[in-house]
Structure 1
Amino acid sequence: MGILKLRKNKKFSYTPRYYDDKGQGNPYEIKHKFDEYRTTVGSNNGLKTKINNALNELKNNRDKEANRRILIIIAVLVLVFLFIIDFDLSIFFSK
């Protein structure tokens, strides 16, 4: 049991006694409602794989407004962080 390893959930192959599958899939399967639209869902092993999948999903996203909104939020958070640590921005400007 590793300190940094996440524990996997147990999976059971339960089928009800009087269940009649007519091509609709298992009604007891637990799935997130956006799983078929996302590529980052699943067992991603390693930080590099997770970051690459997230960047690919960001690049292939058709909603450019959402991409712009994410970039603005990241920029604001970086500026707030720099303000909190009292970073001096004058080193980037010449006198």
Structure 2
Amino acid sequence: MGVLNTRKNKKYSYQPRYYKGEGNPFELKHKFDDYRVTVGDNKGLKNKFGSAIDDFKYNGDKTGANRRILYIIAALVLVFLFIIDFDLSIFSIES
């Protein structure tokens, strides 16, 4: 009955009739996978975070999106502090 063993999928050597391309026509792959560093055979959470940080460090931000996001976050934090009526005088240096 095979309680301990799982069934293996059958493999066929089917070749499409009119396919003249290279590689496997049935391989599902995103078109930007060749340019990404974080997609691939890196296993584990630590390796994925390490490759993402390396990609962030060595590929410069050409559009200024990171700076724009930081400005938006800073503005939202200031609005939040204004809404909760936070006293900013604790940061001033007075004796």
Give the TM-score range, shorter chain.
0.5 to 0.7
Of the candidates 38, 58, 64, which is equivalent to residue 60 of structure 1?
58
Name the residue aligned to 1:17: 14
- Corresponding residue for 1:74? 70
Specify which of 34, 37, 58 is matched with residue 35 of structure 2: 37
Identify which range, 80-89 or 25-34, moves more after superposition: 80-89
Q: Which residue of the partner structure matches residue 84 of structure 1? A: 80
* Runs (5+) with no aligned partner, structure 2: 1-8
Q: 1:25 to 1:33 in 2, by over 3 A?
A: same
Q: In terms of Rg, which structure is larger?
A: 2
- Which has a greater percent of helix? 1
Q: Let me know the Cα RMSD of the aligned residues.
A: 3.6
Residue 72 of structure 1 deviates from its aligned partner by 2.4
4+ long deviations beyond 6 Å: 20-23
Partner of 2:93: 94
Unaligned runs of 5+ in 1: 1-11
Q: For 1:84 and 1:52, locate their aligned partners in 2 and report how far apart those are by CA, in whole Å.
A: 33
* Farther-moved stretch of structure 1 (25-34 vs 69-78): 69-78
Q: For residue 4 of structure 1, what is the aligned residue in structure 2?
A: none
